Amino acid sequence: MSDLVLTGGIVVNETARDVADIAITGGRISGIGAPGTLGTASEVVDVSGLHLIPGAIDMHVHFREPGYTHKEDWETGSRAAAMGGVTTVFEMPNTNPPTRSVTEFRQKQDCARKSCVDFGIYGLLAEDNIDELEGLIDAGANAFKCFMGNTFGDLPSPSTGSMLEGFEIISGSGLRISLHAETASIMAWRQARLEAAGLNDPLHHIAARPEVVAIEAVARAAILAEWTGARIHVLHISSAGELRPLAEAKARGVEITGETCPCYLFLNSADYDRLGSVIRVNPPVREAKDSEAIWEALQTGVVDMIATDHAPHTPDEKRNDNIWKADCGFPGVETQMPLMLTEVAAGRMTLEHYVRISSANPARAFGMWPHKGRLAVGALADIAAVDLERDEVISADRLHSRGKVTPFEGRKTVGAPVHTLVRGAFVQRDRMIVEGMAGHGTQVSDIQAMPTPSPKNVDQSLASLLDVRP
């Protein structure tokens, strides 16, 4: 007898779909079979008319705790994820304090105990914590984040020298290094010149960060990854231009993946006038031609996955007549799936392909496959039950994030997750949060296993030259 059977739904994986029941026992899928064939269960839930997909895995969220809980905390952020069909999040280290040492990593783990969805925790790779990286690896960091460009928190962007040493150290662990791939020195120079000239309109935000900042950063990071054998991931791809160094690095065999976020697919420079400083995000929302190129790259696999860069702020922090004074980013973990399902409904992408980019590919890239990213016997029962015809309107007031400003305000969507299950338990049911699930989420270390690392040029690494580590 199983704990739960979901009956009558359409089970969708990245390559196929079938009408099938799913049985769940002990948090894992224990059976998939023709309707009515899976035997008895403690609970049977009729999901006729719904599509069951692997819960989304969002490699890029900022839950702001510790330090900025007026913007978000792990409880509100994970509830927003549950409402958005997101069953696993990887959380970024630009909190206060930043997640740059073992002590701070433990502090972040304490905060994350409130999460109702599964999670990974990023360790920081910065200019000033190279000697902490080994400790962070041993403490259980699930990936690393490197801010090549400054953003919220103003953590010091590493020089190319410290980045190389960081890549050398992390390459031995096999963990992936996610990059904010914009070059800080170019942006700082240009923003200072624009500010000094009194240029502070929303579109000047793009002018300070033309796509060359991303092109240069992706190309440079790929060279360091190729040299060291480190695995890297390009966060929030915003431009057509950076797709070329990404594709070229893949062709050379660099272990590189890339993500984009809904704002780069659904918004462009024509929206700056209407949205003002609300649209400010790093990297910036660019031109319509960039959106088109990124859509294409999502279809062809040059861009591997969709994430959200969920980055909540208060209305006062977001709204400012001077673009340089408005905080960057906005909430997204709850709205990604409805926005993308709207495109599925419109025929732009199959639901199977959406499963690939929202769940299967992130699971593979970050070592969680085959436990996550698919609905199959033995996998964890992380499931979004989606109604592909459900009409909704995005409204910040109704978002479960503490951040109540979104550039998607008023946008109509078609398709939404009506139930979300994490390890076999409902965390969202019938478009309502299931209360009492804080703490249900588990750090993915229990299932994460990265492929065997293959560090390169080890004999020239600083560690081998200085012989400072055992």
- Positions in the binding site for Zn ion (CB under 5 A): 309
Shortest distance, position 77 Cβ to Zn ion, whole Å: 13
Give me the amino acid identity at 303.
V
CB of 442 to Zn ion, least distance (A): 23
Strands 2-7 and 21-25: antiparallel
Nearer to Zn ion, 218 or 434 (CB): 218
The least CB distance from residue 177 to Zn ion, in Å, is 14
Residue (309 or 387) nearer to Zn ion, CB: 309
CA distance linking residue 466 with residue 392, whole number of Å: 59
Which residue's C-beta sits nearest to Zn ion? 309
Q: Shortest distance, CB of residue 344 to Zn ion, whole angstroms?
A: 25
- Dihedral angle computed from the Cα positions of residues 454, 456, 461 and 463, in that order, rounded to the nearest 10 degrees: 20
With tokens 């190129």, the residue in question is 293
Residue pointed to by tokens 């994030």: 401
* Cβ distance to Zn ion smaller for residue 14 or 309: 309
User: Cβ distance 189 to 213 under 8 Å?
Assistant: no
Gap between the Cα atoms of 99 and 146, Å rounded: 12
Cβ 389 to Zn ion shortest distance, Å: 32
Residue among 104 and 309 whose Cβ is closer to Zn ion = 309
**Residue 7, phi then psi, degrees to nearest 5:** -115, 140
Structure tokens belonging to residue 51: 């599509």
Q: How far is the CB of 311 from Zn ion (least distance, A)?
A: 6
Crossing angle of helices 184-196 and 212-228, rounded to 10°: 160
Closest C-alpha among 9, 18, 20 to residue 49? 9
* Closest to Zn ion by CB, 24 or 311: 311
Q: What is the smallest separation between the CB atom of 366 and Zn ion, expressed in angstroms? A: 16
Smallest gap from Cβ 5 to Zn ion, in A, equals 39
Residue 332 vs 338, nearer CB to Zn ion: 332
> What is the rounded end-to-end Cα distance, in angstroms, of the chain?
51
What would the two tokens of residue 179 be? 């990059």
List, in sequence order, every residue forming a beta bridge with 259; answer none if it has no partner: 305
Q: What is the bridge-based pairing of β-strands 143-147 and 412-422?
A: unpaired
Closest to Zn ion by CB, 75 or 309: 309
Residue with tokens 């905080």: 327
Of the pair 277, 442, the CB lying nearest Zn ion is at: 277
